[in-house]
Amino acid sequence: MNETTPTRVPRARTLAGLGLALVVALGGAWAWQAWHARQDRAREAAAEDQRQLEVLLQRMETVRGDINAQGRLIKDAAAGQRLLRDELLGLGQRNALLEETVARLAASTAQGHRTARLDEAELLLVLGAQRLRLAGDVDGARRAYALAAGLLDGLEDPGLLNLRHTLASERRALEELGAGPRAAALARLQAVDEALARLPRETLLPASGPRPPWWQRALAPLVQIRPAGSQALLGEAERALAVDALQLELTLARAAVERGDVDALRTALNRIDTGVQRLWPDSPPLRQLRDELETLRSMPLQPQAPALDATLLQLRAARDGGSHRP
């Protein structure tokens, strides 16, 4: 028993030492392999880092090139923008000049249109006044003034307000003239012509008067006694010629009225008065006809024309003042 126990103790120690040595060896092998693996990984990581660094450097070079290209493009764009800005400034100046030119043309056109309208209105006013004063044509003067008023109404110019009021006043004065003295004279001549056809060829005795003498009453059933004048001595042919002469005198009187010839009218009326006294006996219709002829002799043929110069003077002043506007 005592000899066996000491032999087992060294063996156990040896086995323990072997086991420990084995464990240390295994641990060392594992540690070396781990270290070697770490070295491999470190080399791989370093290689990867180197590769990524190279890629990054390449990218940086590419980016640097792109930046340089972008810089050149930016410079080119800036230069192009400067050129465009200069061109825009030039276009703006040209547009301003064009707008100014168009504005001047528009103003010139408007001024020319205004001047033309005022010239037309002036011509119409002059024509209307001349037709009234020279020809006595009241209707023609009214039409001319109405056309002038239409032209002035087409101009939107506040400076023509007084001119329009003056023209309206003169148009009212023309309306108050009526048909005019010539139209009235022609109407009276027409009435004279109609009255000539109604004149009796025998003397109209009054219904009541002094009682005729006994011898006239005794001879009344056999003989009709009436006064005889120069018209009883005319034959039918002479009477027809005299009536035609009266119609001719009426035509001459109408022509004198149309011309406004007072002397010719009075001469024709005097001849008509003499002719009717020669052709018809005295009667109330004849006396009424002669009174009408006397009224015609005293009638004026020229209308009492109102003052028509105010509108014309104002229009000329407005036109001359407008022509000096810038």
Report the alpha-carbon distance of residue 202 to residue 192 in Å, rounded. Answer: 19
The reported pLDDT for the residue numbered 108 is 57
Who contacts 227 (Cβ-Cβ below 8 Å, separation ≥6)?
A: 203, 281
CA-to-CA distance for 303 and 308, rounded, in angstroms? 13
How many structural domains is the chain composed of? 2
151 within domain boundaries: yes
Q: Please check whether residue 76 lies inside any domain of the structure.
A: no
Residues 185 and 166 grouped into a single domain:
no
pTM across the whole model? 0.45
272 and 244 fall within a common domain = yes
Q: Is the pLDDT of residue 298 over 50?
A: yes
Return the number of other C-beta atoms located less than 10 Å from residue 252's C-beta: 18
- Give the span between the Cα atoms of 103 and 286, in whole angstroms: 77
Length of the chain: 326
Highest mean pLDDT among 193-202, 223-232, 315-324: 193-202
Looking at the structure, tell me whether residues 282 and 190 fall in a common domain: yes
Q: How confident is the model at residue 207 (pLDDT cuts 50, 70, 90)?
A: very low
What are the two backbone dihedrals, phi and then psi, of residue 133, each rounded to the nearest 5 degrees?
A: -75, -40
As a whole number, the mean pLDDT across the chain is 77
Whether the CB-CB separation of 160 and 318 falls below 8 Å is answered with yes
Q: What percent of the chain has pLDDT over 70?
A: 77
d(CA 315, CA 122): 7
Give the mean model confidence (pLDDT) for residues 175-184.
Answer: 75
Comparing 134-138, 188-192, 315-319, which segment has the lowest mean pLDDT? 134-138
Whether the predicted pLDDT of 53 surpasses 60: yes
Asked whether the predicted pLDDT for residue 205 surpasses 50, the reply is: no
Segments forming the whole domain that contains residue 107: 93-178+308-323
Asked if residue 289 has pLDDT above 60, the reply is yes
How far apart are the C-alpha atoms of 275 and 246, rounded to whole Å?
Answer: 7
Tokens 């004026």, residue? Answer: 300
Backbone angles phi, psi at 298, to 5 degrees: -95, -5
Residues 171 and 186 in one domain: no
CB 154 within 8 A of CB 234: no
pLDDT at 89 over 60: yes
What is 182-219 written as a DSSP string?
Answer: HHHHHHHHHHHHHHHHH--SS----SS-SPPPHHHHHH
Are 253 and 314 in a shared domain? no
